[in-house]
């Protein structure tokens, strides 16, 4: 079923009784060419590109819960490609370009809105760092503008420009950055994959791996029985360490909770995405009017999808420092998701030392914006056994060889990212 203005009108005239489910809720079969573990954005996008780009349609996506129940439906929806290091820049720009054509490609409204992402700076040193990052972006053909204080004031006059400790001195703006509706991205990829024959299997938890005599992975054990597979891809985000442990692997990843917050609906006030440069706070406004914001991860390891109160206070303090008017808004709801924090803050898309098992993990705070490129590159790896050019730096062995991609220069302290 294609979505269009005509189909909307026709269905409206018939009382909306003829819409068909967007994707098939399949039962697991005995075996597939490829099994992708995890029906988040990355797993579903991988299945979609396996089918649409590589013609591999004998694929299952297995999720222990429901699709969209993980981080893909819990994030603050920010998309951008304002990265500065060579390992990251082309990859995130590929993702941005895929976002720009995604809704037409999927025939699905993911509410991609390029309303701009503005990173504020509060000191000369930070301004220098942003100038460097902006220059690196422009050298890669990515849009970046360094704004002075007056230009920022014209965009967002409500900010606290004269804060005693953190006066705003300017900002780095990527106009093509913005937001996308997070759960619609999961549904859109699920629909595209399912249309091409992929089985999307919910409530199917992977509990172990099937191995042959050589130790190679040849399928998965699940709570709905064994499923054989030519290749198995892991895209389980915050559960990466636990699922990898089922195959005897120990990953350079810690799981931490990240919380998000939404205020009551307000009239339009925040023009795009704004990030505080002197603390961890980022904010945008949804089309319904709610202020959508977040901050730092909770400082201890956890597999619970809920956070603690000290971080709630910390995030709200960041908001108050940046835009004191936020103190008048009432908080409507908050929630948490489990982040797969890698030790250099950058992801892994690679084969593992176990034959037949492939890894997509380590997305930290930033995996939503990466969803299209991650799916595209993981599909490439699964289909060809070679890394996609733009993801060549995301090797698992970089933590052994020291070829880290430490975008923020904060080393092995994921709680500081």
Ligand X SMILES: Cc1cc2nc3c(=O)[nH]c(=O)nc-3n(C[C@H](O)[C@H](O)[C@H](O)COP(=O)(O)OP(=O)(O)OC[C@H]3O[C@@H](n4cnc5c(N)ncnc54)[C@H](O)[C@@H]3O)c2cc1C
Asked if residue 256 binds ligand X (CB under 6 A), the reply is no
User: Is residue 62 near ligand X by the rule CB under 6 A?
Assistant: yes
- Per-residue HEC secondary structure of 160-196 comes to CCCCCCCCCCEEEEECCCEECCHHHHHHHHHHHHHHC
Buried b (16+ CB within 10 A) or exposed e, 308-345: eeebbebbbebbebbbeebeebeeeebebbbbbbbbbb
Decide: 364 and 410 in contact? Cβ < 8 Å: no
Is position 307 an interface residue for ligand X (rule: CB under 6 A)? no
Q: Least distance from C-beta 36 to ligand X, angstroms?
A: 9
Contact, 179 vs 78, CB < 8 A?
yes
Interior angle at CA 370, CA 145 and CA 404, nearest 5: 85
Closest CB 113 distance from ligand X, rounded Å: 13
Distance (Å) of CA 126 to CA 133, 278, 279, 337: 10, 9, 13, 30
| Residue 72 interacting with ligand X (CB under 6 A) | yes
Say whether residue 75 binds ligand X (CB under 6 A). Answer: yes
CA dihedral for 211, 215, 218, 223, sign (positive or negative): positive
Tell me the C-alpha distance between 137 and 92, whole Å.
Answer: 11
Shorter beta-carbon distance to ligand X: residue 204 or 326: 204
By the rule CB under 6 A, 172 interacts with ligand X: no
Q: Any contact of residue 70 with ligand X (CB under 6 A)? A: yes
Dmax (CA) of the chain? 68
Residue 294 Cβ vs ligand X, minimum distance, rounded to whole Å: 5
Question: Counting contacts by CB under 6 A, is residue 25 touching ligand X?
Answer: no
Residue 114: CB atoms within 10 A of its CB come to 18
Residue closer to ligand X by CB (options 169, 173) is 173
Segment near ligand X (CB under 6 A); pick from 133-141, 163-171, 317-325, 363-371: 363-371
Site for ligand X in 115-144 (CB under 6 A): none
Q: According to the binding rule CB under 6 A, does residue 87 interact with ligand X?
A: no
SS3 371: helix
* Residue of 91, 368, 378, 394 that binds ligand X (CB under 6 A): 368
Helix axes 89-106, 182-195, angle to 10 degrees: 70
* Binder among 42, 122, 127, 351 for ligand X (CB under 6 A): 42
Phi, psi angles (nearest 5°) of residue 258: -120, 135
Applying CB under 6 A, which part among 50-58, 130-138, 167-175, 365-373 lies near ligand X?
365-373
**Binding residue (CB under 6 A) for ligand X from 206, 232, 315, 382:** 206
280 sits near ligand X (criterion: CB under 6 A): no
Among 96, 136, 144, 237, binds ligand X (CB under 6 A): 237
Can residue 81 be called a binding residue for ligand X (CB under 6 A)?
Answer: no
Task: Work out whether 417 is an interface residue with ligand X (CB under 6 A).
Answer: no
- CA 132 – CA 124 distance, rounded (Å): 12
Selection from 268, 254, 258 nearest residue 294 by Cα: 258
Give the binding range for ligand X (CB under 6 A) out of 105-113, 150-158, 256-264, 384-392: 256-264
What is the SS3 assignment for 43?
helix
| Choices 12-20, 97-105, 139-147, 235-243 (CB under 6 A): range interacting with ligand X | 235-243
Among 130, 363, 394, 399, binds ligand X (CB under 6 A): 363
**Which residues of this chain interact with ligand X, rule CB under 6 A?**
37-43, 62-65, 69-72, 74-78, 205-206, 235-239, 243, 258-260, 294, 337, 339, 363, 365-369
């Amino acid at each position: 079923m294609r979505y269009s203005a005509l189909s909307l009108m026709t269905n409206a005239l018939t009382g909306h009784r003829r819409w068909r489910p967007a994707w098939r809720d399949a039962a697991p079969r005995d075996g597939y060419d490829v099994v992708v573990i995890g029906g988040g954005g990355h797993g579903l996008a991988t299945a979609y590109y396996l089918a649409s780009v590589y013609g591999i349609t004998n694929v299952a996506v297995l999720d222990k819960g429901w699709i969209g129940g993980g981080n893909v439906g819990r994030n603050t929806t920010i998309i951008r490609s304002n990265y500065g290091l060579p390992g990251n820049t082309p990859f995130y720009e590929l993702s941005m370009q895929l976002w720009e054509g995604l809704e037409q490609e999927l025939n699905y409204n993911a509410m991609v809105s390029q309303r701009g992402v503005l990173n504020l700076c509060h000191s000369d040193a930070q301004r220098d760092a942003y100038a460097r990052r902006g220059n690196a972006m422009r050298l890669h053909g990515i849009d970046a503008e360094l704004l002075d204080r007056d230009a920022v004031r014209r965009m967002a006059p409500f900010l606290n420009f004269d804060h005693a400790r953190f006066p705003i001195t300017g900002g780095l703006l990527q106009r093509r950055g913005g937001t996308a509706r997070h759960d619609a991205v999961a549904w859109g990829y699920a629909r595209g994959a399912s249309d091409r024959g992929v089985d999307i299997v919910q409530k199917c938890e992977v509990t172990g791996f099937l191995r042959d005599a050589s130790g190679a992975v040849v399928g998965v054990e699940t709570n709905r029985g064994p499923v054989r597979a030519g290749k198995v891809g892991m895209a389980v985000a915050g559960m990466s360490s636990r699922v990898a442990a089922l195959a005897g692997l120990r990953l350079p990843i810690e799981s931490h909770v990240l919380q998000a917050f939404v205020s009551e609906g307000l009239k339009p006030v925040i023009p795009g995405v704004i990030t505080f440069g002197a603390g961890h706070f980022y904010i945008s406004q949804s089309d319904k009017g709610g202020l959508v914001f977040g901050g730092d991860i909770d400082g201890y390891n956890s597999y619970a999808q809920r956070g603690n109160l000290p971080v709630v206070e910390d995030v709200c303090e960041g908001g108050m420092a940046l835009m004191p008017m936020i103190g008048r808004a009432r908080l409507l709801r908050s929630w948490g998701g489990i982040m797969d924090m890698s030790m250099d803050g950058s992801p892994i898309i690679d084969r593992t030392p176990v034959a037949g098992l492939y890894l997509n993990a380590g997305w930290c705070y930033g995996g939503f914006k990466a969803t299209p490129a991650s799916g595209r590159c993981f599909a490439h790896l699964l289909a060809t056994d070679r890394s996609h050019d733009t993801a060549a730096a995301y090797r698992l062995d970089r933590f052994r060889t020291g070829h880290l991609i430490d975008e923020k220069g904060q080393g092995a302290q994921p709680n500081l990212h």
